[in-house]
A and B are shown apart, each in its own frame.
Chain A
Amino acid sequence: MNIIDRRLNPKGKSLANRQRFLRRAREQIRKAVREASSGRSITDIDGGEGISIPMDGLHEPSFRRAAHGGVRDYVVPGNKEFVPGDTIAKPPQQAGAGGGSDGSPDGGGDDSFHFVLSRDEFLDLFLEDLELPDMEKTNLTRTETVSYSRAGLSVTGSPSNLNLVRTMRNSLSRRIALRRPKPAEMAELQAAIAELEEKGDNPELLSELRLQYQDLLTKSRRVPYIDPVDVRYNRFQPVPKPISQAVMFCLMDVSGSMTEHMKDLAKRFYMLLYLFLTRRYRHVDIVFIRHTHTAKEVDEETFFYSTETGGTVVSTALTEMTRIVKARYSPADWNIYAAQASDGDNTSSDNPATLDLLHYSILPVCQYFAYIEVGAEYKDWLGRESDLWRAYKSVVAPNMAMRKVRSRAQIFPVFRDLFSREGRHVEA
């Protein structure tokens, strides 16, 4: 008897099967992921996700008997009062009465299939075919990690890196070139000598053979089987891995006109953007700037939750951003993204200054500037455009986009719209 502890065996033996399954069901899963995300808060998206997908394409058919029709005989246990000849009403939907109905183990009869996606699988599908604009500016100067990659062979190295194939090939060619006597050859000669010794009738030949044998022996000693010159090691070369870094500026109007609902919408948008950036860049900084009639850099908690009163002067936030960029995030080293959320209010006298800043200070250093106008759930009763929207509309720049968001369900479509590979710069 043998007891084997298999608990330490590598996990995820069925990973390959799972990947095949996900690939197979890709379309359905992608759709389910989109649907799951629209109604859900962003923080949940970051975790794993239980989803249900329709069974088409995942069904495993086989020849089966129909559930209805024909003559069937069952033997079932638990008779209490029946005697032969009694009748029992058929159950409304077959199945219940007999051992005949054999539900397939995967619940194949159901039209949906429920399972859990891991966080990475979910995000991969969630953010699939989204692209960051202007990736080419990606900074390559700062190196953070070094990885090793195979780079040919070397004559020195640690024994664990010994390249056996190369070493033996070198050894073989050297032995052939230097005519090292083969073991078979020597054995043959030795046998011949032994035979002659036994017979003892040809001493001349014997001594000649012995001499020959001696010769071979010296030669085989001089030409070793494996010589240090044969030995080759796999060489590994350190390759500096460039890392790219990005900073994301979150600008938000926190004046009294911004309701909780609007802030919530803005927060969702920022979260999405942050998730997206962290998957594209190794290192992402976030700077939160909130403004009323003055602007201030704050931490996340304050940014989203503390209230502030005051007027609305957008240019103050842009000025603050410019200041921080100058102080800490040199555009040469950082990819700069900015997302501004506002209900569209601005002191009208401030609009020209805002536009000026945007044009000359912000847009030139930004990879991308997104303006999200968050509105109340109901439509603006006049349906007119806000001050800021009208002002921003006049800006024509390839790296600027603006969208309106009214409800949670719109966040993700708008986000996708902004970052999907095609269809960017449509409404810039």
Chain B
Amino acid sequence: MSKRSADKLLFTGADWTFDKVGRVHDAIAAIAQDELGLSTYPNQIEVITAEQMLDAYSSIGMPLMYKHWSFGKHFAADEALYRRGQRGLAYEIVINSSPCISYIMEENSMAMQTLVIAHAAFGHNHFFKNNALFRQWTDAKGILDYLEFAKTYILHAEERHGARAVERVLDAAHALMGHGVHKYPRKRPFDLAEDKRRQQERADWFQQNYNDLWRTVPRPENSFPEDEEQAERKRALGLPEENILYFLEKSAPLLAPWQREILRIVRNIAQYFYPQKQTKVMNEGCATMVHYTVANRLHDKGLIDDGTLMEILHSHTNVVFQPGFDDPRFSGINPYALGFAMMQDIKRICEVPTDEDRAWFPDFAGNDDPWGTLRHAWADYRDESFILQFLSPAVMRKLRLFHLHDQAEAEDMVVKAIHDERGYREVRKTLAKSYDIGALEPDIQVMDVDLTGDRRLILHHRVADGIMLDSLEALRTLRHLANLWGYPVRLVEVDAKYDQVLKVHDDVEPD
């Protein structure tokens, strides 16, 4: 410690100034780019007050948003909790935009600001810019302009059609927001060259793998010859369609153009947040990994003093705390803890692998390029695939993960697998599956419209593992849906495995 001279320090004391923040940012940028190889959007750091932080909370973290009562409700609730001291505020909010906007709070100490800048302005920022999901689904440059457009559009709509009418559409759209995303890329425009190449590829493959035996296998009769007319109708409407808001926007018969535009706005915002839902563990893990490494490097280089490092590590430890399942504080797996533990372990595997690691991760164990490996993981995976690919036995042992199986009819839950040789793969597979967006949200699709009859809209919920919809919630949501559609709506719950109808909800009429 004696070699650390005071003049090398970036700052001393707890108070922050713009000057210090600027110096710290530059020092972190040097480490992030040169040592970790991060590539980020340009940073924009904005200092805000606690009240502004609450504001940002209530408008789902975006700096501008259209007006809606639900944001007022969330603000009132958050404010009440905050005032009673039941909830602290986040230290930062970061927005996936270019330039990448990070909000830091004025009451943070300088050590906290350092942590926050490393975490948000470099960790999250790198993830936003490089992760495949974000690249595919979000437009970082355009989002703020789009929100500005959305805000003005809805304001004008309120002026022209009345606040009540706009509110009705927004209420309904918000209820369906979770089912307003495209989960797969849309059809691309037709490309003749590409198509020819593919066709050729298929023909070649067929040639190479030709086997006359297949000809002799009897073909099954088509057991469900589909009604021609029905098939044609479904094709024309693009059914089945899982993006309910998209379907309504394009096909609801009674909506005015401005109502369709509002649905579109809500749908676009939902789509913008879709990648975030799928990458909680990775995103937070990446940011935590970056701030942890950066803080230690700053200290190694003599740029921050011991006290600052201790303060940063104190917050860091709180953030990655994972209570056990039987702890009263337990509320699911902490994405920070899981992400950080996995990424630290990847680093370890790259640098000092054990035999077990070599067996499990032959392609990168001992490659001595931890940051290259991590950058690759951050770029090309989402939570589900990341866990399936990278969760190591060492981490499972460290967190003492085990698999609980809960069957509704059974009296007790059964421990199916634990962190041992026989259980690793099972635990890993189950954990990965629980992060699959398909497993998190019910699979509801628009199946059919009775166009010749009463224009009834028919939705199917593909029930997985026998988990049905909450029927009261479903009824309320269906009412919103019926109001947008304009005619009755029917929801049918169908078992995904056996195609068996489990429940038909009552038809809901628009009011």
Residues of A that sit less than 8 Å from B by CB: 1-7, 9, 11, 13-14, 16-25, 50, 58-80, 82-90, 96-100, 103, 105-107, 113-116
In angstroms, Cα B463 to Cα A88, docked, is 26
Residue of A with least CB distance to B413? A88
Option from B55, B176, B322 in Cβ contact (under 8 Å) with A77:
B322
Residue of A with least CB distance to B164? A23
Across the interface, which residues of B come within 8 angstroms of A79, CB to CB? 324-325, 400-402, 418-419
Query: Within residues 399 to 444 of chain B, which ones have a CB less than 8 A from any CB in chain A?
Result: 399-408, 411-419, 422-423, 427, 430-431, 433-434, 441-442, 444
B470 touching A65, Cβ below 8 Å: yes
**Would you call B178 an interface residue if the criterion is a C-beta within 8 Å of the partner chain's C-beta atoms?**
yes
In angstroms, Cα B184 to Cα A373, docked, is 75
A76 touching B401, Cβ below 8 Å: yes
Given A63-B469, A86-B415, A97-B406, residue A3 in contact with residue B69 (CB < 8 A):
no
Query: Within residues 36 to 90 of chain B, which ones have a CB less than 8 A from any CB in chain A?
Result: 42-49, 51-52, 54-55, 58-59, 67-77, 79-80, 83
Across the interface, which residues of B come within 8 angstroms of A107, CB to CB? 77
Query: Within residues 170 to 219 of chain B, which ones have a CB less than 8 A from any CB in chain A?
Result: 171, 174-179
SS class of chain B's interface: helix, strand, loop or mixed? mixed
Across the interface, which residues of B come within 8 angstroms of A100, CB to CB? 434
Given A3-B47, A13-B52, A86-B414, residue A63 in contact with residue B403 (CB < 8 A):
no
**Would you call B319 an interface residue if the criterion is a C-beta within 8 Å of the partner chain's C-beta atoms?**
no
B333 touching A64, Cβ below 8 Å: no
A58 touching B433, Cβ below 8 Å: no
Option from A4, A64, A78 in Cβ contact (under 8 Å) with B44:
A4
A3 touching B80, Cβ below 8 Å: no
Task: Select the residue from A13, A86, A99, A113 with max chain B CB neighbours within 10 A.
Answer: A13
B407 touching A75, Cβ below 8 Å: no
Option from B69, B418, B427, B468 in Cβ contact (under 8 Å) with A82:
B418
Q: How many A-B residue pairs have CB under 8 A?
A: 266
Task: Select the residue from B22, B419, B430, B467 with max chain A CB neighbours within 10 A.
Answer: B467
A88 touching B404, Cβ below 8 Å: yes
Sample of 7 further A-B pairs with CB below 8 A, known A4-B45, A21-B76, A90-B413: A1-B26, A63-B477, A75-B333, A79-B400, A84-B418, A87-B412, A88-B413
Across the interface, which residues of A come within 8 angstroms of B51, CB to CB? 11
16 contacts between A and B (CB under 8 A): A3-B47, A5-B18, A14-B58, A16-B72, A61-B477, A66-B468, A73-B403, A75-B430, A75-B431, A76-B401, A79-B402, A82-B402, A84-B423, A86-B414, A98-B404, A106-B77
Given A61-B480, A113-B73, residue A3 in contact with residue B18 (CB < 8 A):
yes
In angstroms, Cα B330 to Cα A3, docked, is 38
List of 8 A-B pairs having minimum Cβ-Cβ separation, nearest first: A78-B324, A21-B72, A70-B467, A17-B72, A99-B332, A61-B476, A70-B466, A115-B76
**Would you call B323 an interface residue if the criterion is a C-beta within 8 Å of the partner chain's C-beta atoms?**
yes
Q: Count contacts on B: residues with CB < 8 A to the other chain.
A: 99
**Would you call B465 an interface residue if the criterion is a C-beta within 8 Å of the partner chain's C-beta atoms?**
yes
Given A7-B106, A24-B69, residue A1 in contact with residue B401 (CB < 8 A):
no
Across the interface, which residues of A come within 8 angstroms of B80, CB to CB? 50, 114-116
B213 to A: closest C-beta gap in Å: 40
Across the interface, which residues of B come within 8 angstroms of A65, CB to CB? 442, 467-470
Residues of B that sit less than 8 Å from A by CB: 18, 21-22, 25-26, 29, 42-49, 51-52, 54-55, 58-59, 67-77, 79-80, 83, 99, 103, 106, 163, 167, 171, 174-179, 322-327, 330-333, 399-408, 411-419, 422-423, 427, 430-431, 433-434, 441-442, 444, 461, 463, 465-471, 473-474, 476-477, 480
A75 touching B465, Cβ below 8 Å: no
Across the interface, which residues of B come within 8 angstroms of A64, CB to CB? 442, 469-470, 473-474
